[in-house]
Structure 1
Amino acid sequence: MVVTPTIYKVIGLMSGTSLDGLDIAYCHFQKIGDNWSFTIPVVESIDYTAEFREKLKNTVQLDAASLLTFGNEYGIWLGKQVKKFINRHKLTIDFIASHGHTVFHQPDIGLTYQIGSGQHIASSSNQKVIADFRTKDVVLGGQGAPLVPIGDQLLFGQYDFCLNLGGISNISFQLEDKRIAYDISPVNMLLNFICKQIDLDYDHGGQLAHTGKLNPVLLNRLNELTYYKKPFPKSLGYEWFMNKVIPIINNTNDTVENLLHTSVYHITEQIANSLKETKKENSTLFITGGGAKNHFLIETLQERLSKFSKIIIPDENSIDYKEALIFAFLGVLRERNEINCLSSVTGAKKDCVSGVVFYP
């Protein structure tokens, strides 16, 4: 008798540090033998209003009661968005897997906190929810990040390196028998912050950055940040960006074009340094995230890497929704009680099955 492998139908939710909106990805996963496959039949991105974006950005400043209240409100909002998405596309799903929106990420003091209460998502969507994927790893002494590498390993293992260019850049690769991953530098978090000076949400295609000139003093100040000298495992959060990077930008008197141009050089230099340290020549570099659409950034990175890596940029759904896809996949692994958080990546005492289940 032939047993048909189970197809998991999951909605992945992702709100990243670049604060551009909520990504919703309806995903199908199937395992045949040792190999996982996936499709992404339906996706949507819901832009945050300027007011909502500002509120999310300032969550780090809220008092405890206000933060918890807003976290619950945000969970209700997430649940309502998913309910509309399900009804609009007439979907049947097994559960929702939600990353939440990171407010605090200070693993060195045992703290990571994402708003978007799983219980409130479940109750307002009337669906089972798996959320809070980071806390368990931090309790085990890990960074609680990055979590995407298990998906890189099992869904995109044909590439030597997986690089995500979101609010923060992170890289994932196999080193002998272990998956290694860590955050490299700010990307869209930095570029979008600069664009706000002229009331732009972002630099479309890197056009403004392309017209700028290099500011060597700024480049040196950014490159000298102590984070870049730390060994992995390591991860970044918005607080670090706010405390270490924003003051450098605010104290640099230059045009937006030059600030963007120099920041692109900084970002690509840090990525190139990280890749070259591995000494994997003639490798394939799979790039996703919003930064993959910044043509100037990609061209500058290719120049820096020269013949070291072949850059592969996938279809638009994979660029935009890879993180939502992988959080959906983390939910599937949690559902199967299989490891979804790697100690080789986070520095925790052991691998773990992470995620908390909530029912409506």
Structure 2
Amino acid sequence: MAQTRTAIGLMSGTSMDGIDVALLKTDGDAIVERGPSAGFAYDARFRDRLKQGLVDAKAITQRDQRPGALPELERDLTLRHAEAVKTFLQQNNLSPADIDVIGFHGQTVLHRPDEALTVQIGDGPLLARETGIDVVYDMRANDMVHGGQGAPLIPAYHAALARGAAGLSAPVVFVNIGGISNLTFIGAGETLVAYDSGPGNTLIDQWVEAHAGIPFDQGGMVASEGTVLPDLAERYLANPFFTAKQRRSLDRNDFVPPAGSDAGLADGARTLAHVTAAAILKSAGHLPQRPSTYIVCGGGRLNPVIMRDLAALAEAEGATVLPAEDAGFNGDSMEAEAWAYLAVRSLQGLPLTYPGTTGVRRPITGGKQAARPLRGEARNSV
């Protein structure tokens, strides 16, 4: 019987808005006991440094390269994750000795699946030293070594959640609307199919920041004042990504504003909210069959404009859209929970990815391990 471990998952996603932390007790298989979670926002200056990191990362041709300011950014990012863990433990009356492992995603600064190149900055050994907890990190790379796209990795956890949920009948689709949106299809017999479905919050975030100097459209307030511009929406949705036979993993820069767009702030945000919803349904056309239920997690579910459009489009196809909470899950912490779950799977040599999720040649495990300091050993704090 697999050992049940207490794990913490850390996620800093493509929206680059902060660190999600979640605790999970799991055997990396059937046992999933969700614990507390928390979010720690990045300040505006650090978000600007992360954006510059995306620019610096364009020069990378090998995974271990760190051009420009990336070495310092990687160190500071890791230390911010360490502080988040320490604060989370204090808030929940826990100590490092109570935690068996941390699943550390890091920050994706480059993702080029067609070149088998993905880079998540984050120093696993430094995090282990700073927290005093074993760390599993760099979980995407081995998938690419074996022919996969390196994403999405969360489907294994979605399958575990669906397995333990009452009242869900196959087929069901989990929709994660982060910076990029992705789908996990769970069919009869736990058939898993997963892929990125298109832009999530990234385009809206970029639009409102460029036009209003705000980092994101909180609660869809800007979009709610605008009107969908059909021609502009169709130009986004005409991207060859949606009709290509092979599903591919996306980088946050794969969708750019069409040339010649002169939309105003509100109309642009409203149009991009519609594009986010329509992209999900358009990409769902590549699934083995249309689902009866869409369960939505990630920050995008908090934008009521996106959710209304998604619900209307799904209803037209006879499907229901549920926020994760209505299905008994936590839509804010699900990705962080997944990284805790995947860390335990990694320790046990279980697959993280499958041919149906990333296109990998066979089910494959992944991740690197960094051990906590031995008792009495100096932490070498920096």
Give the structure-2-normalised TM-score. Answer: 0.85
Q: Deviations over 1:95-129 (max 9, x none)?
A: 11011100010021121000111111111111100
Q: CA deviation at 1:139?
A: 1.0
**How far apart in 1 are the matches of 2:277 and 2:194?**
17
Contact 1:209–1:260 (CA under 8 A) maintained in structure 2:
yes
- Structure 1 position 259 matched with structure 2 position 237: no
Letter in 1 for 2:325: D
- Residue 229 of structure 2 is matched in structure 1 by 215
Q: How does 1:1-360 map to 2 (within 5 A)?
A: 6-29=3-26, 35-40=30-35, 42-62=36-56, 64=67, 66-91=69-94, 92-157=98-163, 158=168, 160-174=172-186, 178-196=191-209, 197-241=211-255, 245=256, 247-248=257-258, 251-278=260-287, 280-281=289-290, 283-306=292-315, 307-315=317-325, 318-360=330-372
How far apart are 1:170 and its partner, in Å?
Answer: 0.3
Does the CA contact (< 8 Å) of 2:242 and 2:283 recur in 1? no
What value does the CA root-mean-square deviation take over the aligned residues? 2.2
**Structure 1 unmatched ranges of 5 or more:** none
Separation (CA, whole Å) in 2 of partners of 1:210 and 1:66: 38
Structure 1 residues 35, 85: CA separation in 2 closer, same or farther (over 3 Å shift)? closer
Residues 218 and 303, structure 2, Cα contact 8 Å, conserved in 1: yes
CA contact (8 A) 1:281 1:308 kept: no
Contact in 2 for aligned 1:130/1:358 (Cα 8 Å)? yes
> What is the CA–CA distance in structure 1 between the aligned matches of 2:195 and 2:41, rounded to whole Å?
28
- Three-state SS of the structure 1 residue aligned to 2:331 is helix
Matched-pair contact (CA < 8 Å) for 1:143–1:233? no
Say whether the 8 Å CA contact 2:199–2:252 is kept in structure 1. Answer: no
User: 1:88 Cα deviation (Å)?
Assistant: 3.5
- Local SS of the residue matching 1:169: strand
Aligned length: 349
2-side partners of 1:114 and 1:296: how far apart? 31
Structure having the larger proportion of residues in strand: 1
Question: Identity rate of aligned residues, in percent?
Answer: 29
1:101–1:281 distance in 2 versus 1, CA, 3 Å: closer
Deviations 1:274-316 (A, max 9, x none): 2344474561111111111111111111111125211121339
Task: Tell me the CA shift for residue 238 of structure 1.
Answer: 2.3
| Worse-matched range after superposition: 330-339 or 127-136 | 330-339
Deviations 1:184-239 (A, max 9, x none): 11111111111212122222222321221122231122112122222343111123
Distance 2:145 2:289 in 1: 33
Structure with the larger helix share? 1
TM-score (norm 1): 0.90
